[in-house]
Amino acid sequence: MSTTNRNQRTATFQHAATDVYSGGAAPRTERVSRSIVAATVAGNAMEFYDFTTYAFFAVYIGKAFFPASTPLMSLLLSVAVFGVGFVTRPIGGVLIGAFADRAGRKPAMLLTIALITIGTLGLALTPSYASIGMAAPIIVVLCRLVQGLALGGEVGPSTAFLIEIAPTGQRGLYGSWQLASQGLAALVAGTIGVALTISLTPEQMLAWGWRVPFILGLLLIPIAIYLRRRMPETLEHGPVETAGGAKREGLGSYTKLILLGILVVMGGTVSTCSDSRPSSSRWWAAGWPTATAASGSW
């Protein structure tokens, strides 16, 4: 294949990738305010923080809401409820993503902030199983479903927004902040978890310490709402046309690109899950013998 043909194919691929994510919107030439980018990234990070914090405190949440005959069973029930949040993530992606394409990116991202607030507030304030019985785990499950719905609906609109506000030649850079904010959220949640574990006794962590990270996340949500209310709308209503005047092609025209994106995401997900072995401190907190935890015999 000649150099000219390769360059043409590369340009076509890049244009297709841009068109899929930006809806055909023309790239911006002016530089947007940093506060607009910060509003999008901060809100996305806060939602991922609220969603992933549960995993760092699964042992204590299991003991509070899912009492069982053995510590291991309590932990397994808690982890299962963490997984429940992933059930509604694709549903949120479809429903809120469609809403973002009709009403706009800004309303969709304000909606996801409201939903994650409801879910996180429920987790932070729900009394334990010892206080209200079976109502406690039911509320926790419902809260995780709402959190998953919010998080699934956040990724699409926020990514589209970042790409649509990006100046020419910087769409990849701006769009990368969406994924970077996820890593930042996990880092903050883990750091807070370590700090609390060092500062508090196991009894304090079980009684109220595990609720602190959720409350901290709630305190920051009003800031994210304030910033997002000041964001511009980037959705272009009406039929989107290409430079030649033809209507934009449907998703079926980008099957290879979509499959490539799925494979890239799967690679990161598989590597993350295969490397996420429970630490000895978590097994010790769950009641396992230290030697068993240290040897990894689980």
**Domain ranges (residues) in the chain:** 32-233
Residue 117 CA to its chain's centroid (Å): 13
Mean pLDDT for the chain overall: 79
Q: Quick check: 12 pLDDT over 60? A: no
Burial letters for 144-159: b for 16+ Cβ neighbours within 10 Å, e otherwise?
Answer: bbbbbbbbbbbbbbbb
pLDDT digits (tens, 9 = 90+) for 199-238: 999 999 999 999 999 999 999 888 888 888 888 888 875 5
Instruction: To the nearest 10°, report the CA torsion of 50, 52, 58, 61.
Output: 10
- The domain 32-233 is placed in CATH, from the list 3.40.50.150, 1.20.120.1690, 3.40.50.720, 1.20.1250.20, at 1.20.1250.20
**Which H or E run includes 75?**
helix 71-103
Work out the number of other CB atoms within 10 angstroms of the CB of residue 92: 24
**For residues 157 and 39, is the Cβ–Cβ distance under 8 A?**
no
pLDDT digits (tens, 9 = 90+) for 244-284: 555 556 667 888 888 888 888 787 767 665 554 444 444 44
pLDDT at position 248: 59
> Does the global pTM surpass 0.85?
no
Rounded-to-integer distance, Cα 134 and Cα 144, Å: 16
Identity of the residue numbered 20: V
**For residues 107 and 234, is the Cβ–Cβ distance under 8 A?**
no
Q: Which residue has the higher pLDDT, 230 or 109?
A: 109
Provide the percentage of residues in the chain whose pLDDT is more than 70: 74
Burial letters for 162-197: b for 16+ Cβ neighbours within 10 Å, e otherwise?
Answer: bbbbbeeeebeebbebbeebbebbbebbeebbeebb
Q: Which residue has the higher pLDDT, 180 or 23?
A: 180
Q: Quick check: 189 pLDDT over 60? A: yes
Q: What is the mean pLDDT of residues 170-188?
A: 89
pLDDT at position 210: 95
pLDDT at position 293: 36
